[in-house]
Amino acid sequence: MAHILLVVLIMSCDAAEKSGRELIKTCYLLYERVTDDGLVNEKLLEVADYAKEWRPIFSAAGFYDVNQSTLTSSLQALITYVVILIQFSLSLKS
Ligand SMILES: *[C@@H]1O[C@H](CO)[C@@H](O)[C@H](O)[C@H]1NC(C)=O
């Protein structure tokens, strides 16, 4: 159960980070399309800079960033652990 919650938590963190990146991307896309209004362009760049500076980044107490790559690396660690446990139990049996 705790594992499922952890996966959901990591996916939620990743989704929030992704939406932060989407906002920056959207600002630049709008900037490219709205060419005639200088003030709007300026404001779009300001929002993009602001979003870049304040985009959400989740970290585990500052040790590492929490995103989808966290999921794969923790899965790798889990698999390594299970393989070592299997090897131990095999060597104890023989
Ligand atoms: C995910 O987190 C790792 C560190 O845990 C970091 O190196 C990487 O840049 C992050 N990926 C994204 C897309 O932010």
| Residue 82: C-alpha distances to residues 35, 67, 89, 93 (Å) | 57, 23, 11, 17
Distance from the alpha carbon of residue 9 to the mean position of ligand 1, in angstroms: 16
7-27 pLDDT, tens digit per residue, is 899 999 999 999 999 999 999
Distance from the alpha carbon of residue 93 to the mean position of ligand 1, in angstroms: 41
What is the distance between the alpha carbons of residues 26 and 16, in angstroms, rounded to a whole number? 15
Shortest-distance atom of ligand 1 to CA 17: 14
Tell me the HSE value of 91 on the side-chain side, using a 13 A CA sphere.
Answer: 6
For each of the chain's 94 residues, which pLDDT tens digit applies? 888 998 899 999 999 999 999 999 999 999 888 777 788 889 999 999 999 999 999 998 999 899 899 989 989 999 999 999 999 999 998 7
- pTM, whole model, 2 decimals? 0.73
Q: Which residues approach ligand 1 with their CB closer than 6 A? A: 64-65, 67, 69-70
Beta-carbon count within 10 A of 40 CB:
13
